[in-house]
Structure 1
Amino acid sequence: MFLKKYQEKTYFILLVFIAITIPLHVTLNNMAIGLLLVFWFFTGNLFIKIKAVFKNKFFWIFSAVYLIQFLGILYSTDVQDALTKLEKKAGLILLPFLILSLPALKSKQLLALVGSFGLSCLGLLTLALIKLKLSFGDLSKVPQLTEAIDDIIDLHHAYSGLYLVFSIISLTFLLNKNWQILNKIMRSGFILLVIGLYIVLIFLGARMALFISFVLLGLQMLLFTIQTKNYRALILILIIAFIGFSGVLSLPATRQKVTEILLLRGVHHPFTPRLIQWSCAFDILDANQAWLQGVGTGDVKPLLQACYQDKKFWGHLYNYNLHNEFLEEMTRHGLVGLVLLLLTLTFPLVLAIKRTHLLYMYFLLIFTFACITESILNRQKGVIFYAFFNALLAAPLVQNRNEEDTKDVESLQYQRNLQNKI
């Protein structure tokens, strides 16, 4: 019993270590994942754990997006690039394999883990803002503030914005859920953390992240009011939303981005480059007659850069990807790859809604929205974030399903025994 309790604590600490290092250096995060792998191996019951994972439909659904990369190598010209992508995306199969074979976390543990992740994000971005303020004297004088933050933390704002939104939405949900069992100091600490995260999100100025935050905070507001009649949580969300809206309008950098979206037209509109990039996906598939199978795991980049040059689009100077995960996957692996990616997201989403697992629902919506304007799974920072939290939040659904199956078997056995006695 003592050993089991020790193992559970060690497992949770390792998960927190992974969460904290996701926004930090990739090497440090890889080390944290490596420690989890060592823990998984040395805690024994390997056959039982492997059997449990292989019988788990979630594991195969989550792994499908990774496994299709192997098939794409068979018809890739650039095998080296394909192998590099396999290495980057290894977390898509490794983390579900490890996490789904171990016990699901409790709600309070999730609060602590997401809080640690959010604190790591807050610390990293706050240090970047302090450094910029010391250099320029006033953050409003920093040219291209968003890109300046990216350079300091060595992390694109598509990912840091995604991290911040997930932390804000998850913490507001978990804080409300665990409100009664938290003392005043912990409540105040988590509230300050959420507000701090939203403030740095405003300074970051990632448009899609801000949009997602407003949409999902509104959804939270509606669901909290309907389901729990918890007006305290409603007031908290309203305060956070008000801070966000006021901040967006008050800061010159974010106010300019909103103005550009509303007022600019044609080639000057900020979404115009996206439309050019997205059109290249269809041009590549059409030119190579690869709508069904795609052009291969390693061949998208050169074809895409050639398309940019044909359209006289400056994206080839920066090796831009498609900035849309769905189109990226379709270009690489055709309609088969697109269907697998959609299945990976929609099947768990429907199940989460059906079983009212709202936190998992929020996560899937956040990730899906982010995939519309960014190729999130092109970098390890996106892969590990998705694979880690996706497996952690899906685990309760798997565990509950197993408990229901066990109860059904026990009930059937009881009925048979009763009939035999009669």
Structure 2
Amino acid sequence: MNFSLQQLIKKREYIFITLSIIVFFTFTVSYALSAIAMVLFIPFFFLDTKLNIASKVQRIKKDKIALCLVLFILIQCIGYFYSEDKALALKRVWGMFPLVFLPAILFSESIPSNDLKKSLNISKYLIVLTFLYYLIIHVFVDGRTISTFVHDTVKVKLGISQFYLTFIVLIPILVSSKSIYQRDKMLLNSLLLATSFFILLLLGNKTVLLFMLTLIIYGLVLLIKRKKYRSVLFATVFIILGSIMISQSSIVKNRMTVTVNTLDFDLETIITKNRFTETKNTLEHRILINYLAGKEIIKALPFGVGTGDYLAVLYNQYYTINFKAGISQKYNNHNQYFTEFLKTGVLGGVLFIYILFLLLLKINKEQFYYPIFLLLFVVGCFLESYLDRQHGVIIFAFIIPYFYKLD
């Protein structure tokens, strides 16, 4: 028995690589497999020598972020007790449970960078191949057009928002970009980058495309400062081609047209429009939802309405003003900050912001992946309630700590 345990301990690096690949791969494939892979990190943590386990526990005790995340979940549990909808409260608490152990495990483990890179290099191919598989099924088996890919395959079949998928698509984009910069397998990584960028474009997320454009411009400035002129030339050609693709994309073009042509800045006008028709302007929807959620947050200060009742009070506001799109689509807050203040009041809202602040303090100029994923999450939390979904929990509990460890 001891011999078997010792052998397993020696294979820890392979176990870590396998679990990481499963989490990345199953992100778009299976809720159940993702959940199992995350939970398996617990026995992985204890599959170690007694001395190493004791050392890791000590590191966790000194880690402010790990401790704050435990406190964050405890506050959600407290919100359970003054919720009327206990079933939803329990579902939310259980759904966020990986925040208790996953970041703590990743931050405390002494994982060799080569192991992180191995799992990442394998995952980047699997992520792209998975999306290509979905695309082939959508076009050649289901006989649908590419323009309906997001609605028919991503939203209906997979039940995932583009906001979540963009995080996983960014992985092959960033990994292949860095490989190209390091002149490693130039042709293969260029093909992978082009394919990944096409997938990102296909998802049609305006916020992420704007974020990517900002990153590319920032990258060009850094390359010029370092006199990497060949890389600047390559990046410029990539930007031009990408811009052409974007300008010709019906998905992005239609979304921008709807947003620009139907956007109003007067709140009363927005309320009136959405009372009489189910509008398509998602930016106006978010403005209206934030306004309604803000009213409930102020009313429920300082403790919030409860972990299980925040959606009920929001839906009640939708019915009060007859917000047609909100009623038919059952929109959540679409704002993680407002969600936390609405659920558990000042305690949950302030603590969530403090955790993000602690994570932001870990950014330094030598890092590459971590700041990009963290900043995208921080900005995205203004537009999406990430922690309402398992995919968002994976981003916060696994992907962001993983890339911090890699950097």
TM range (shorter): 0.7 to 0.9
1:367 to partner: Cα distance: 1.0
1:312 to partner: Cα distance: 0.9
Letter in 1 for 2:392: G
- Give the conservation status (yes or no) of the 8 Å contact 2:116–2:406: no
SS of 1:345's equivalent in the other structure is: helix
Letter in 1 for 2:338: L
Mark the runs of 5 or more structure 2 residues left unpaired by the alignment: 1-5, 265-272, 274-278
Distance in structure 2 (CA, Å) of the matches to 1:246 and 1:205: 14
Assess, with a 3 A threshold, how the Cα gap between structure 1 residues 71 and 278 changes in structure 2: closer, same or farther.
Answer: same
Aligned to 1:27: 32
Moved more, 73-82 or 312-321: 73-82
2:285 matches 1:273:
yes
- Give the conservation status (yes or no) of the 8 Å contact 1:352–1:360: yes
Among 299, 311, 323, the alignment partner of 1:301 is 311
2:152 matches 1:148:
yes
1:64 to partner: Cα distance: 4.2
Moved more, 304-313 or 245-254: 245-254
1:105 to partner: Cα distance: 4.3
SS of 2:102's equivalent in the other structure is: helix
2:164 matches 1:159:
yes
SS of 2:40's equivalent in the other structure is: helix
Moved more, 12-21 or 358-367: 12-21
Assess, with a 3 A threshold, how the Cα gap between structure 1 residues 350 and 224 changes in structure 2: closer, same or farther.
Answer: farther
Aligned to 1:417: none
Aligned to 1:222: 221
Q: CA RMSD in A?
A: 2.7
Mark the runs of 5 or more structure 1 residues left unpaired by the alignment: 398-422
Distance in structure 2 (CA, Å) of the matches to 1:26 and 1:50: 29
2:151 matches 1:139:
no
Moved more, 291-300 or 119-128: 119-128
1:161-200 pair list within 5 angstroms = 161-173=166-178, 176=181, 179=182, 182=184, 184=185, 187-200=186-199
Q: Deviations over 1:383-404 (max 9, x none)?
A: 012211222233368xxxxxxx
Aligned to 1:337: 348
**Percent of counterpart pairs with the same letter?**
22
1:89 to partner: Cα distance: 0.6
1:67 to partner: Cα distance: 3.2
SS of 1:278's equivalent in the other structure is: helix
Q: Deviations over 1:209-254 (max 9, x none)?
A: 222222222223323433x433344344334433332222112222
- Give the conservation status (yes or no) of the 8 Å contact 1:324–1:372: yes
Among 371, 375, 378, the alignment partner of 1:361 is 371
Letter in 2 for 1:17: I
Q: Deviations over 1:353-385 (max 9, x none)?
A: 3x5323211111111122121111110111012
Aligned to 2:362: 351
1:202 to partner: Cα distance: 1.2
- Give the conservation status (yes or no) of the 8 Å contact 1:121–1:160: no
Distance in structure 2 (CA, Å) of the matches to 1:111 and 1:105: 9
Q: Deviations over 1:171-219 (max 9, x none)?
A: 424653xx26x4x3xx432222121111011122122222222222222
Distance in structure 1 (CA, Å) of the matches to 2:118 and 2:392: 22
Q: Deviations over 1:267-287 (max 9, x none)?
A: 45441111111111112123x
2:326 matches 1:322:
no
1:2 to partner: Cα distance: 9.1
1:60-71 pair list within 5 angstroms = 60-71=67-78
Distance in structure 2 (CA, Å) of the matches to 1:219 and 1:160: 23
2:109 matches 1:99:
no
Aligned to 1:205: 204
- Give the conservation status (yes or no) of the 8 Å contact 1:212–1:369: no
Aligned to 1:415: none
Assess, with a 3 A threshold, how the Cα gap between structure 1 residues 48 and 348 changes in structure 2: closer, same or farther.
Answer: same
Assess, with a 3 A threshold, how the Cα gap between structure 1 residues 97 and 265 changes in structure 2: closer, same or farther.
Answer: closer
Assess, with a 3 A threshold, how the Cα gap between structure 1 residues 374 and 133 changes in structure 2: closer, same or farther.
Answer: same
- Give the conservation status (yes or no) of the 8 Å contact 1:118–1:197: no
- Give the conservation status (yes or no) of the 8 Å contact 1:166–1:363: no
Distance in structure 2 (CA, Å) of the matches to 1:370 and 1:86: 21
Among 375, 385, 398, the alignment partner of 1:388 is 398
Aligned to 1:245: 243
Distance in structure 1 (CA, Å) of the matches to 2:169 and 2:327: 29
- Give the conservation status (yes or no) of the 8 Å contact 1:63–1:92: yes
2:17 matches 1:12:
yes
Assess, with a 3 A threshold, how the Cα gap between structure 1 residues 270 and 48 changes in structure 2: closer, same or farther.
Answer: closer
Distance in structure 2 (CA, Å) of the matches to 1:111 and 1:233: 23
2:74 matches 1:50:
no
1:334 to partner: Cα distance: 2.0
Letter in 1 for 2:137: K
- Give the conservation status (yes or no) of the 8 Å contact 1:322–1:374: yes
Assess, with a 3 A threshold, how the Cα gap between structure 1 residues 346 and 171 changes in structure 2: closer, same or farther.
Answer: farther
Assess, with a 3 A threshold, how the Cα gap between structure 1 residues 265 and 31 changes in structure 2: closer, same or farther.
Answer: closer
Distance in structure 1 (CA, Å) of the matches to 2:340 and 2:239: 34
Assess, with a 3 A threshold, how the Cα gap between structure 1 residues 17 and 360 changes in structure 2: closer, same or farther.
Answer: same
Aligned to 1:418: none
Aligned to 2:81: 74
- Give the conservation status (yes or no) of the 8 Å contact 1:165–1:213: no
1:129 to partner: Cα distance: 2.0
Assess, with a 3 A threshold, how the Cα gap between structure 1 residues 215 and 49 changes in structure 2: closer, same or farther.
Answer: same
Question: What is the number of residues matched between the two proteins?
Answer: 384
- Give the conservation status (yes or no) of the 8 Å contact 1:91–1:387: yes
Distance in structure 2 (CA, Å) of the matches to 1:244 and 1:336: 44
